[in-house]
Amino acid sequence: MSTKILSLGSQFPYFKKTAAVSTEPGKEFFEITSEDHKNNNQWMVMFWWPKDFTFVCPTEIASFNKHHQDFVDRDTQLIGASTDTEFVHVAWRKNHEDLSGLKFPMLADTSKSLAEELGILEANEKVAYRVTFIVDPQGIIRWVCANDLSVGRNVNEVIRVLDALQTDELCPCNWQKGEATLHA
């Protein structure tokens, strides 16, 4: 049985999950919910990867981290997520040089309930596909991008689309922030 990925115009599902936010003893974990960004009138970018301690995933996570300030500047909460536990997330952060200074939470969907509700749970291995969601401050999904397990995503494209969505204007092909929008 295959599920369908939640798509444009759908309400992002409610969640309340533990996330790894630090490697400092006693400060490793924090609970985050789907309401946090809405309560702060922020956008949310949630990107999923299949497994910790793999090869493609840390390249993406490090790239999102490199661009963390770009998301902050766009009043956007950035959340990374997988079906691994919060303890595995902390161990990975401690053991991978590129992940030691992450500035965003790594959500632990150990029950796989959120990945399943989003329709992004791979059927055989029961891991999340590489999927990125851009969610507006009202909790509505405005963009979804899904990659096969073996292909990393382009963080610059996520930022470009976020910029376009935040204009609330018509944006032509390859539009970049600062360029003219279209008028009907």
Kindly state whether residue 4 falls inside one of the protein's structural domains.
no
In a domain, 64, yes or no: yes
Domain count, the chain: 1
**For the residues 30-41, what does the mean pLDDT come to?**
94
| Vertex 154 angle, CA 41 and 37, to 5° | 15
Q: Is residue 40 part of a domain?
A: yes
In a domain, 47, yes or no: yes
| CATH classification at residue 103 | 3.40.30.10
Cβ–Cβ < 8 Å for 120, 26 = no
For residue 171, is it within any domain?
no
The catalytic site residues sit at 57
User: What is the pTM (predicted TM-score) of this model?
Assistant: 0.91
Three-class SS state of 1: coil
Q: Which domain holds residue 119?
A: 16-152
Please report which confidence band the pLDDT of residue 12 belongs to, taking 50, 70 and 90 as the band edges: very high
**Helix-, strand-, coil-residue percentages of the chain, each rounded to 5:** 30, 25, 45
- The predicted structure's pLDDT at residue 25: 75
Residue 182, domain member (yes or no)? no
In a domain, 105, yes or no: yes
- The answer to whether 142 and 134 have CB atoms below 8 angstroms apart is yes
pLDDT tens track for 77-107: 999 999 998 888 888 877 777 767 888 898 9
pLDDT at 74: 97
Q: 136: closest CA among 75, 65, 47?
A: 75
In a domain, 11, yes or no: no
